Chains A and B, each alone.
Chain A
């Protein structure tokens, strides 16, 4: 079975972001970018399924500017076989919203006919947590979101997928027919690091460049970003010297005890 993995280029998770002075967006110039951490987990899971003999081919896909090819090369170095870059730089400077991303991915699913699609549960920039669910809806497939364990059971034409999901009260296990869409939670696996020889080999792996127009998808969104602001700052607090002082302050000053 073929596995499709969607990856996104985002600001590195360690970076302290800055809001632009004109409040139009977050400043992305000269900021360290990386693969979204949840996407790394998705790539790792796909590669592990290939190593177990469940998957035959892993295809990585991204939607974004030309620079996003760096993240595809990372996916290839981690073990993906080939990559597809849907280049949006010609059409728009603006971000591609989840719905447009899901529409593009649905076209790729139609073309590639994967047995399983793995995405991260959310991107750490927009924090939307939408694309996997939207893709499942558009492709007419079942979804296993926030997965902490994924197991393929059965054989031949009757393969099923058991997904353990992280839900508010604990864990839930569902069984899905294949093909299916899975989104990864942090505890699904521990992603590996790419080794130098693999990074070199990844440069020779195939990478197709497409455009949204190739898929007949309109990227424009009905959602407008009006303003981006910094959240209200918390004022610096004080350090207390003892437990007695702490409890005293909480009782008499903050009045929360």
Chain B
């Protein structure tokens, strides 16, 4: 049986998460064989399809290019996936807001369970996934004929890009009378994507204000880092919510995670505790973040951050 991977894309660009989902699909392929097809659905997605065809391990890219799939609304896209799912044993998507919005709807329409945010493929039917904000790892086995799965990107290393898979178009057009796109407000940033960055520096309530987040800019620029935030910083209005790292925000696992003025609530740890090296900068030496930090520095961030930035120049 074969595997269908839903490509993730924004503004005509294939998002990095897709290469991680294909990596999970390759693990499955080792058990079941078959092909890995990638579905690119949207409007004017030619360039996305070409980028998807370069991903190693992909057999074929299927492109549904139609205005009804623009902005990847759940209602038309789930109807398309339901049409295409026959012939596949597994349907995979990234555990992004797009994948989470869509795949449970597909699963219910096919009358099967959905398995969320897998971090490991044990075999074709068995998967590991975190529960309770990452404080326990569940091994689940599905007896459904079709497995509908979202993949946590940080659990799988991205595949390379030396391939040239065939591209074919999908003519299926569905109707959508129930939902319409109105507008989108995307945060602009020249920095690397939070979920894929090698280095992440995050600020919490201790930053004191949105203005003070600028203290992180210089360090982020020097390290090529993405900037994240705790829920407390987002709720206080310091920074927009798409910067939130945690159980209910983004899950990151960079080489280096620097937590500044973050106490380290369970909810935040769920989003970053798989980072390779964790640094905590906090003036409260009792802060729980120090229990997971490889290197902790107790001090006032307003003194430490400028010194840290200065030291990076040397």
Contacts and interface: CB of A to CB of B under 8 A. Distances in A.
A142 B107 contact: no
B132 A247 contact: no
A253 B109 CA distance: 52
Interface in A204-257: 221-231, 234, 236-244, 246-247, 249-250, 254, 256-257
A231 B139 contact: no
A71 interface: no
B197 interface: no
Interface residues of B, number: 89
Contacts of B223: 257
A254 B107 contact: no
Interface in A11-38: 11, 13-14, 16-17, 19, 26
Among B101, B241, B277, the one with the most A-chain Cβ atoms within 10 Å of its Cβ is: B101
B185 interface: yes
Contacts, number: 252
Chain A at the B interface: SS class: mixed
B105 interface: yes
A145 interface: yes
Interface size grouping (class) on chain A = 35 or more
A223 B199 CA distance: 37
Residue of A102, A135, A141, A145 ringed by the most chain B CB atoms within 10 A:
A145
Interface stretch (A45-53, A84-92, A173-181): A173-181
Interface of A: 11, 13-14, 16-17, 19, 26, 97-99, 102, 121-122, 124-138, 141-143, 145-146, 148, 162, 165-177, 180, 185-187, 221-231, 234, 236-244, 246-247, 249-250, 254, 256-257
18 contacts: A127-B116, A127-B130, A132-B104, A135-B108, A143-B75, A145-B74, A167-B98, A168-B97, A168-B98, A168-B195, A176-B179, A186-B235, A187-B234, A228-B138, A231-B273, A243-B304, A254-B256, A254-B294
Interface of B: 10, 71, 73-75, 78, 96-98, 100-109, 111-117, 126, 130-144, 177-187, 195, 199, 223, 231, 234-235, 240-242, 247-248, 250, 255-256, 266-267, 273, 276-279, 285, 290-298, 304, 307-308, 311-312
Given A127-B116, A223-B143, A254-B295, 18 more contacts: A13-B267, A16-B135, A99-B107, A99-B112, A125-B131, A129-B116, A168-B195, A170-B184, A171-B185, A172-B185, A174-B181, A177-B177, A223-B142, A226-B141, A234-B294, A238-B295, A243-B307, A249-B295
